[in-house]
Structure 1
Amino acid sequence: MQLAMFLPLLCPVLAGVFARPLGNRLEPRAATWTLTISAVVLAAASWVALAVLALTGLARIPLVADLGHWSAAVIQHNDPVSLGIAAAAGLLLVVTAATAVRMLWRRLRALLAAGLDAACMPGPDQLAVMEDPAPDAYAIPGLPGRIVVSTGMLSSLDTTERDILLAHERAHLTAHHYLFVASAQLGAAANPFLRPLATAVTYTVERWADEHAATVFGDRHRVARTVGKAALATKHAPARRRIPAAALGLIGRRDALKSAGPVPRRVAALLAPPPELRLLPLAATAVVLIAAGLSAFDAARDLHLLLELAGAG
């Protein structure tokens, strides 16, 4: 039972180490899906492991054992986990659950606020042009979502570059990138060791949108130039107004996404040949996720059998 309990707690550490390399080497769409699913699955598996550890300690308390009609002596004899470890697991479970609930509430509020902002923006179509000398552009999820571009950004780009920018922002909306980012951040809130995965996802969604724009226009160098030019324009811009927390933009610098990947890495990736689908890293990731999931299931099954044994004793 020990391996089954502790493997789901070790896998997030391993995932955190390889998050950035996966984000850099995998095709962006595959990287986003892989990292997001990994964050959710590993967070859930680690929660199950913590819950099992905490419940085994809780069941040793005479009052709890009496309520459950279990033998505390049988549980203590058959479970090698110390009471201190069980107490620590329980504390971690409560803290991470509270953090995850808070994060979920913040993300839901941000999504609702973004939807209201999108619905209230002027203009009949998807694009909303804002009178603002500060160069800026971002996509707001909603029903439908909106693309917001400032007049300062439009004046900084030529016609083709404007079309590239719009293609990038449309990719954020059509692929629902905000949901990937929010899911990865929720997983990181549930398990702090998964924060590198959330950081990597904020980078891979930008790379995904970059590659979409490159596919649409067939000119990777022109897209790279547009990304760099927009970044330089915003670098020296005056202080910007409030931007919705759910916004995703060409530069990736949003209040809710402070750890987004740097622009130079994206430009370098666009100047390189198109990324290829790599099956080996995907297969290795799948093995880790399956191992963590099966271990969490095995730990829960062992706890059930232990409690049955304690009830019979």
Structure 2
Amino acid sequence: MTVLHLLPYFPLLLPVPAALAARPLARRLEPRAATWLLTTAALALAALSTAALGILAGAGLIRLSLAAWAGHWSAATVRAGDPVTWVEAAPAALLLCAAAYAAGRLLWRRVRALIAAGTQAACLPGIDQLVIVDDPAPDAYALPGLPGRIVVSTGMLNALDHADRDAMLAHERAHLDGHHYAFLAAAHLAAAANPILRPLATAVAYTIERWADENAAHACGDRRQVARAVGKAALATRRSPDRRRLPVAALGLLGLRRDPLHRAGPVPRRVAALLAPPLPRRFVPPLDWSLVPFAATTCAVAASGLCAFAAAHDFHLLLKIAGA
């Protein structure tokens, strides 16, 4: 039994169709379902592609005489049965180290940012969830912690009327209640381990905003009002110089400021979605063209899992035969 030569490569290539399907899924699937699907797919594909790199690197490592001595297997049997060469194993080992470093670095930064955000939330004045800061720059964001806080500047309050403020607060409250920072952190972690998955992380950033928009529309009972609030808040922050908030920026918490109009994408799409009828709450799209990106993503995850499992199984059998 040998390690099948092509199996470890499929989990490295299958994230491509998932990345291509990310934006259509974010647009056509109900936001909450899209967030769960895209985040889960990103984590699964990142883990499976990392496992595939580990199998390729391990297939080169077991060719070493020292590894054979330590593992008590026959190096000659391994060399005869393993088609993976050093030309393939060495780049895989380098990519594996790079993926582990990038994911570990991002995870460390996110943990530090979460601690900093929790500390900042605890140190804010008052005991209510809403905190108003005296700042002429329009700003509004959700700050996770125990308890989580919604921070709004006086500049933002002055830019919105009473109904807009209610919609904005409902939007930010949805970010806290839904733990949206965790979804985005997980998607960014997957993209750090496998850069091909960056479109999925971008799509998750959009779907959590849409998720919060829909919750705000349900709370306010007026989708057009929420659409107006999103547009007015974006215009207000567009006119204000961007001042970086370290804890929030590092966590990737997307408040109203995180969708500036100069990117000419998320805000108009969010407003258009709010002006249209709400999407039905279903995990699987209806039987139309919107089912294609869903099928591409699910098939990519399933095929990656099968290929990674088969490659690992053959790798195990090779070592078992070599050690017999």
* Count of residues paired in the alignment: 309
Partner residue, 2:144: 141
CA distance in 2, matches of 1:232, 1:167: 19
Q: Compared with structure 1, are the counterparts of its residues 216 and 146 closer, same or farther at alpha carbon in structure 2 (3 Å cutoff)?
A: same
User: What SS is found at the alignment partner of 2:141?
Assistant: strand
**What residue identity is the alignment partner of 2:122?**
A
Correspondence 1:293 to 2:283:
no
CA distance in 2, matches of 1:108, 1:122: 24
Structure 2 unpaired stretches of 5+: none
Partner residue, 1:250: 256
Q: 2:193 aligns with which of 179, 182, 190?
A: 190
Partner deviation per Cα, 1:155-175 (whole Å, 9 max, x = no partner): 111111100000000100000
Structure 1 unpaired stretches of 5+: none
**What residue identity is the alignment partner of 1:198?**
A
Partner residue, 2:54: 51
CA RMSD of aligned residues (A): 1.9
Partner residue, 2:23: 20
CA distance in 2, matches of 1:119, 1:297: 45
User: What SS is found at the alignment partner of 2:152?
Assistant: strand
- 8 Å CA contact 2:17–2:297 kept in 1: the answer is no
CA distance in 1, matches of 2:213, 2:245: 25
**What residue identity is the alignment partner of 1:272?**
A
CA distance in 1, matches of 2:105, 2:195: 14
**What residue identity is the alignment partner of 1:300?**
A
Partner residue, 2:277: 273
- 8 Å CA contact 1:26–1:275 kept in 2: the answer is yes
- 8 Å CA contact 1:135–1:237 kept in 2: the answer is yes
How far residue 147 of structure 1 moved from its aligned partner, in angstroms, is 0.1
User: What SS is found at the alignment partner of 1:2?
Assistant: coil
CA distance in 2, matches of 1:231, 1:58: 54
CA distance in 2, matches of 1:218, 1:75: 67
User: What SS is found at the alignment partner of 2:93?
Assistant: helix
Partner residue, 2:268: 264
Q: Which moved more, 1:286-295 or 1:265-274?
A: 286-295
**What residue identity is the alignment partner of 2:258?**
G
CA distance in 2, matches of 1:90, 1:260: 40
Partner deviation per Cα, 1:61-99 (whole Å, 9 max, x = no partner): 122222212222222222222221111111100111011
Correspondence 1:113 to 2:102:
no
Q: Compared with structure 1, are the counterparts of its residues 59 and 261 closer, same or farther at alpha carbon in structure 2 (3 Å cutoff)?
A: farther
**What residue identity is the alignment partner of 2:312?**
A
How far residue 261 of structure 1 moved from its aligned partner, in angstroms, is 5.8
Give the TM-score of the pair, scaled to structure 1: 0.93
CA distance in 2, matches of 1:267, 1:253: 12
Partner residue, 1:165: 168
**What residue identity is the alignment partner of 2:224?**
H
Q: Which moved more, 1:264-273 or 1:193-202?
A: 264-273
Correspondence 1:221 to 2:224:
yes
How far residue 252 of structure 1 moved from its aligned partner, in angstroms, is 2.4
CA distance in 2, matches of 1:266, 1:241: 23
Partner residue, 2:319: 307
Q: Compared with structure 1, are the counterparts of its residues 34 and 260 closer, same or farther at alpha carbon in structure 2 (3 Å cutoff)?
A: farther
Give the TM-score of the pair, scaled to structure 2: 0.90
- 8 Å CA contact 1:203–1:260 kept in 2: the answer is no
Q: 2:32 aligns with which of 11, 29, 34?
A: 29
How far residue 243 of structure 1 moved from its aligned partner, in angstroms, is 4.9
Q: Which moved more, 1:219-228 or 1:61-70?
A: 61-70
Partner residue, 2:243: 240
Partner deviation per Cα, 1:106-140 (whole Å, 9 max, x = no partner): 01011110000100001221000000011110001
CA distance in 2, matches of 1:221, 1:239: 27
CA distance in 1, matches of 2:217, 2:32: 14
Partner residue, 2:182: 179
Q: Compared with structure 1, are the counterparts of its residues 243 and 267 closer, same or farther at alpha carbon in structure 2 (3 Å cutoff)?
A: farther
**What residue identity is the alignment partner of 2:152?**
V
- 8 Å CA contact 1:200–1:261 kept in 2: the answer is no
Q: Compared with structure 1, are the counterparts of its residues 236 and 105 closer, same or farther at alpha carbon in structure 2 (3 Å cutoff)?
A: same
User: What SS is found at the alignment partner of 1:244?
Assistant: helix
- 8 Å CA contact 1:122–1:128 kept in 2: the answer is yes
